[in-house]
Amino acid sequence: MKRKELILHLIGEVSNYLLENNPKRLVISLHQEEDGLHLSVLDDNPHSDEEIEKIDHALNSKKRPELAGYYGAMTGHDMLGASRLKLLGWQVKHCDVSRTRNGIMIDIWLGGDRFESDQFTIPRKEQK
C-alpha cells in the first residue's frame, strides 16, 4: 500500500471514531519523516476517563500481525457500523491519548524499526 493510502485510512478510522459524537471542531495534523509519521487528531467533545482508557487500550493493543496483515485492510475503509480503533492499534507503533481544554487529542506514531518518535521536529514532550 502506498504511504498516501495508508495515511488516508488511518485518518479515516480515527476520524470516524471521533465524528460519532458529532464534535463542532475536529483538527487533523500530520507530520511526516522518511522513517515514520506522526498523526494528531483533536476534537472538542467531552470524554469520560473510562472512554479515554478504552481508546488507549484499543490503540496500544498487542501487535497482531496475523490480524493486521489481513483484516487491517479494513482500517478507515469500511465505514458502515461503529469504528474499530483496534484495527489501528494492531498496526501503529505507539499511540497517546491526552485531554485538551475542551476535548481529547489522539497522537499516533507509525514507522519502521529505525523510527524514533522523539527525533521528530515536533517531539512528543513538546506536544504536552
Partner 1 sequence: MFSFIITGIAADGAAAAFGGFLDIQFQPARLISDFMSTSGIGASFINAAAVGAVGLILIVLSKVQLSGSTFAAIFTMMGFALFGKTPVNIIPIIIGVYISGKLIGKSFSEYIIIALFGTALGPLVSLVTCELGLSGLSAIAVGTIAGMATGFLLPAIAVAMLHFHQGYNLYNLGLSCGFFALFAAALIRTGGHTFEGLLLWHTEDSVILTFLVPVLSLILILTGLFSGGRRSLKDLMAIQKHSGRLPSDFMDMESMEGALLNAGLIGLAGSLYILLIGGDFNGPTIGGLLTIMGFGAFGTHLRNSWPVVLGVILATLLFGKSLTAPGAILAAIFCTTLAPLAGAFGILTGLIAGFIHLVLVHQTGSWQGGMNLYNNGFAGGLTAAFIVSVIAWYRSKESGFK
Residues of this chain that bind partner 1 (CB under 8 A): 61-62, 64-71, 73-74, 77-78, 80-82, 84, 87
Residue with smaller CB distance to partner 1, 113 or 126:
113
* Separation between Cα atoms, residue 49 and residue 53, nearest integer Å: 6
Name which of 58 and 117 has its Cβ closer to partner 1. 58
We find the least distance from the C-beta atom of residue 38 to partner 1, in angstroms, to be 24
Query: What distance separates the 2 farthest-apart alpha carbons in the chain?
Result: 38
Whether 50 and 86 have beta carbons less than 8 Å apart is answered as: no
Q: Compare residues 26 and 105 and give the one whose CB is closer to partner 1.
A: 26
Contact 83, 54 (CB under 8 A): no
Residue 26 or residue 67: which is nearer to partner 1 going by CB?
67
| Closest of 38, 37, 16 to residue 26, by C-alpha | 16
- In a 3-state reduction of DSSP, which class is residue 44? coil
Angle in degrees, CA 71, 53, 9, rounded to 5? 30
Q: Measured from the CB of residue 23, what is the shortest distance to partner 1 in angstroms?
A: 13
Question: In the complex, what is the shortest distance from the CB of residue 103 to partner 1, in angstroms, rounded to a whole number?
Answer: 20
Instruction: In angstroms, give the least distance from the CB of 71 to partner 1.
Output: 4
